[in-house]
Amino acid sequence: MNRINKFDTPDEVTEMINAYIADFEQSEQKEKMVQGVEYYRSENTEIMNRKFYIYAEDQNGDDIKIENPYKANNKLASGYLKILIDQKVNYLLGNDMAIKTNDDDSFQEIVGDGFQKDVKRLGKEASKKAKSWAQIYIDEEGEFGYKRIPAEQIVPIYSSQNSEKLEIIIRYYSVTALNDEGKATKVNRVEVWDDEQVTFYQESTVDGNYYLLTTDEMARIFGRAYENPKYHFNKDKRIGERTVDSKGLSWGAVPFVPLYNNDEGDYDLQPVKCFIDAYDIVNSDFVNNLVDFQDIYWILKGYDGENLNKFLDQVKKFRALKVGEGGDAKPETIDVPTEARKEAKEGLGKDIFTFGQGVNPNNLEGGNITNVVIKARFANLDLKADQFEDEIIAFIYRMLYFINVYRSLKNENEIEIEEITFDRSMIMNEVELLNANNNQRGNVSEDTRLSNHPWVDDPEKEKAKMDSEGSGYNLDDVGDGDDGQTE
């Protein structure tokens, strides 16, 4: 497709914007984004959309297919995807990352105190939708900033020669506008971002064409009369409170940073959707059978009702049935295979955690599970977290490009990342850890022992507390071959 620019006619702009948005709306990628959100909210598509049908007779005696008004249709959507995603994100990002740079203070000041929490939120969205996006900007005060943009609003366009080079971002979202009659109506606003500028279009309430927002409309939206298209940000020269000059500047790249869920570009629902759908069906059908007093079919003889619809209606409403002379109606029941369904649920539940690379909490019950066993049961989650960790590191490095452009504008040196360390939150047998830690007293330095104590976050503070409380430990004597006790 051609590149959208300000010189295109309204018809040309409309055609291109609609084509890009239509392709995205009809794509498998967009469908997965919607599904990921639904399954995370336990609004699982397959079971929530399920209907039961029966064949009945119409007035002419012909068979017709209708939705069954008599059969129970409970829709018990499981929450497995939420468990799997929350497990992964909290396991890897539940504790803050340690991002070591050549200028730690400046990096932290630029990204802000909420950076760790925002990465966690972006990670959760990427797990549901395959990717998430952060938009980079410089605010009116000249400060670096970023904000999360819903992935379903973003249409990325990559270079035909380099599939990883982002050339254009089309962002579209719904806004309220007044039509010619003064009534509020919903229309699309579209932002087209390239490596220099952003152009704002809005859908007309009259003919549905897209037009360039005027300077007055830009002023109402942004509180400032920007030209359209506008540069990524402005560098103002001020005298007191008055702006005497303003220069438009660009990032030199499209100011959107993606966080991918994995290197396949897929969401966490992909490997487990069929198992979750099967689990929902088994679980829902069991309850349906209980509601329906088990599955029943009828053997009819000499029935003088008008048709089968009349028969079902009488049985359901009156619990009784009139038959003709010599007639008979006998119900036959089908026993609910309780054990088979129990085994199916257990088997599907195990499959969901196995193929979803999660940790089944039911396998961590009991007080005698050793840390070796726990680590073995976290092995699959570790593999998934390893891949997700790589994507988060790549995301931070992509952000670093924009941070260093910002630094150059302030004539400051570039920041270089030296190391990114993740503190994974594995469940451990605390009693075993405490005993092992205690047994190492005298075999390793007290600093090392306290650094690995499950209850100690800061060894230096802990030693100071122990000294001040007269805890019975003389830390100067530890390691001399005695048991470290003082009288």
What is the pLDDT, as a whole number, of residue 475? 44
- Bridge partner list, 210: 203
Distance, in Å, from the CA atom of 451 to the CA atom of 120, rounded to the nearest integer, reads: 26
Higher pLDDT, 196 or 319: 196
Q: What is the pLDDT of residues 434-480, one digit of tens each?
A: 555 566 677 777 777 777 666 667 777 777 777 777 654 544 444 44
pTM: 0.78
- Bridge partner list, 166: 158
The H or E element spanning position 127 is helix 115-129
Mapped onto helix, strand or coil, the DSSP state of residue 192 is strand
Question: 3-state DSSP helix/strand/coil percent for the chain, to nearest 5?
Answer: 40, 25, 35
Asked if pLDDT for residue 288 goes beyond 70, the answer is yes
What is residue 61's DSSP assignment? Answer: S
Report the pLDDT averaged over residues 372-396. Answer: 89
If phi > 0 it is left, if psi is from -120 to 50 it is alpha, else beta; for residue 298 that is beta
Mapped onto helix, strand or coil, the DSSP state of residue 13 is helix
Distance, in Å, from the CA atom of 151 to the CA atom of 131, rounded to the nearest integer, reads: 7
Distance, in Å, from the CA atom of 279 to the CA atom of 360, rounded to the nearest integer, reads: 15
| DSSP class per residue in 23-57 | HHHTSHHHHHHHHHHHHHTT--HHHHT---EEEEE
Distance, in Å, from the CA atom of 43 to the CA atom of 280, rounded to the nearest integer, reads: 11
Answer whether 359's CB lies under 8 Å from 381's CB. yes
Res. 1 pLDDT band, cuts 50 70 90: very low
Task: Report the mean per-residue pLDDT for the chain.
Answer: 82
What is the pLDDT, as a whole number, of residue 319? 55
Question: β-strand 197-203 against 184-193: which pairing, if any?
Answer: antiparallel
Percent of the chain with pLDDT over 70: 77
Q: What is the pLDDT of residues 86-143, one digit of tens each?
A: 999 999 999 899 999 999 899 999 999 999 999 999 999 999 999 999 999 998 888 9
Phi–psi pair at 244, nearest 5 degrees: -100, -15
**Beta-carbon count within 10 A of 461 CB:** 11
| DSSP class per residue in 374-411 | HHHHTHHHHHHHHHHHHHHHHHHHHHHHHHHHHHHHTT
323 Cβ contact list (under 8 Å, min separation 6): 300, 301, 302, 303, 304, 329
What is the pLDDT, as a whole number, of residue 276? 97
- Domain spans of the chain, in order of start: 295-334, 438-487
> In 50-71, which positions are buried (b, 16+ CB within 10 angstroms) versus exposed (e)?
eeeeeebeeeeeeeeeeeeeeb
Asked if pLDDT for residue 281 goes beyond 50, the answer is yes
Res. 338 pLDDT band, cuts 50 70 90: confident
Take residue 182 and report the two structure tokens written for it. 């003064």
The H or E element spanning position 344 is helix 338-355
Asked if pLDDT for residue 298 goes beyond 60, the answer is no
80 Cβ contact list (under 8 Å, min separation 6): 272, 276, 279, 349, 352, 356
Q: What is the pLDDT of residues 245-265, one digit of tens each?
A: 678 899 999 999 999 999 998
